Structure 1
């Protein structure tokens, strides 16, 4: 179980998360949704242990992340950032191989098992043909898929993703989420911040909506994907209808209309 207990987190003098309580089981694929600035990235950083809690705790199977050594956390939790960190001057294969670092020992380097895991992750993400390309020369979408491969090669039981489809075309986006759904079915716990609420509804087993650093809605897709709730959270008129093939609820934005049915900008024009 991954758990937040009364979690407070932020940066410098700014507190972003205000008392988050959340429990995420091993068999879940959770979508984190909400408006810009709602705290999704901050929550993922706290769940990874990269951002220390200012108050409360983040626990993994009952152990506070703060009490775990970085290498121990890295054997359990892999991450894919929203904006790639500075990319080292290496080829894509070497970048993916870095995901195996938590499994290396103090007196040995990467083994054949590590190389095989990196190659398998590149193949799974459709990036094997990029293996010998310099990571610095990859397009944004190519690099994003290589970073997903690095996280998969890490072979953890928890995967945290921040806007993983940023820069991907529609076909590659579907391929990545099909792969993630497959890995989830084989036991991988996934928590993903997703900008596209329809994509989240199609693939996630549970949706957690944040707003102003607090959880405002949490539950199975069929339960929480509601016109009134979505309109209130995003402050714009949203309708919900079934997907024509899967029947999964999907959202449509009503142009020019706010959540209360008032045209956007009307309040400013009236002043």
Structure 2
């Protein structure tokens, strides 16, 4: 890409999903105020920050689960609340933190529910639906669990099944709230590598992550939040330093290159 002429700022990245001056609250309790965010299209964005800083609340506003008290969340320049639920669900897939499966439902049937935005009262289950479910089960590594009841699975297995359900939705945008919850270290890295591959295939991925080193390794854009506001955002190598980690997490540390890949790695100091 050609650099802009000297003295002229680079144009902001094009974005389909954006928040403009939004305030988010639960009743009288304001979580975030005056937040602006352009989701970088075709990128893997990781949202980091301490507990209760507004990360999950921000994601909920993007998928119409929480209406801003002021400001607007827009998709393609239109308020997301102006879309029908199925219409926005064909564009944005969302994995929340807490989900409950219906009693006695098998894995394959649960994953198949990810196809609901593509169904109508008159449509029948199609070969395209079957393909999407099969590929989602394989991508999440739960093919061998397909016929088992979800309630019999471990927490980590259930989490991968929920990921498969969102993948079966086949949306260009994936919003994932702590997707590595309950997973062992191997499955954490496998899942993050999957999200990076989806990014490479043209999807836009936004994930709330608690492990900063994993966020720096797999994401190409970070959004750091504290107390309901965005403190910094940009490429990990551009924004992650000891001062940022101290400000956001109140954690003394040094930042060194990850010996495997060279991305920033946080090492807490005594």
Normalised by the length of structure 1, the TM-score is: 0.92
Shift of 1:111: 1.7
Shift of 1:227: 0.9
Q: How many Å separate the matches in 2 of 1:54 and 1:186?
A: 35
Establish whether residue 54 from structure 1 lines up as the match of residue 64 from structure 2: no
Q: How many Å separate the matches in 1 of 2:80 and 2:254?
A: 40
Q: For residue 267 of structure 2, what is the aligned residue in structure 1?
A: 252
SS in 2 for 1:132: coil
SS in 1 for 2:46: strand
Q: For residue 186 of structure 2, what is the aligned residue in structure 1?
A: 171
Question: Given the alignment, which residue of 118, 138, 152 partners 2:153?
Answer: 138
Establish whether residue 67 from structure 1 lines up as the match of residue 78 from structure 2: no
Question: Given the alignment, which residue of 97, 101, 105 partners 1:87?
Answer: 101
Question: Given the alignment, which residue of 228, 241, 246 partners 2:256?
Answer: 241
Shift of 1:124: 1.0
Q: For residue 205 of structure 1, what is the aligned residue in structure 2?
A: 220
Question: Given the alignment, which residue of 139, 163, 169 partners 1:154?
Answer: 169
Shift of 1:109: 3.3
Q: For residue 124 of structure 1, what is the aligned residue in structure 2?
A: 139
Establish whether residue 186 from structure 1 lines up as the match of residue 201 from structure 2: yes
CA deviation string 1:58-101 (max 9, x = no partner): 01111110100100010001011112x22112101111100001
Shift of 1:168: 0.5
Shift of 1:173: 0.6
Unaligned runs of 5+ in 1: 256-271
Q: For residue 41 of structure 1, what is the aligned residue in structure 2?
A: 56
Question: Given the alignment, which residue of 84, 94, 118 partners 1:103?
Answer: 118
Shift of 1:26: 1.7
Question: Given the alignment, which residue of 40, 51, 56 partners 1:25?
Answer: 40
Establish whether residue 114 from structure 1 lines up as the match of residue 168 from structure 2: no
Establish whether residue 76 from structure 1 lines up as the match of residue 84 from structure 2: no
Q: How many Å separate the matches in 1 of 2:135 and 2:167?
A: 9
After the TM superposition, list the runs of 4 or more consecutive aligned residues in structure 1 that deviate by more than 2 angstroms: none
Q: For residue 225 of structure 1, what is the aligned residue in structure 2?
A: 240
Q: How many residue pairs were aligned? A: 254
Normalised by the length of structure 2, the TM-score is: 0.92
CA deviation string 1:211-267 (max 9, x = no partner): 110111111111111111111211120210011121111001123xxxxxxxxxxxx
Q: How many Å separate the matches in 1 of 2:151 and 2:96?
A: 16
Q: How many Å separate the matches in 2 of 1:170 and 1:47?
A: 29
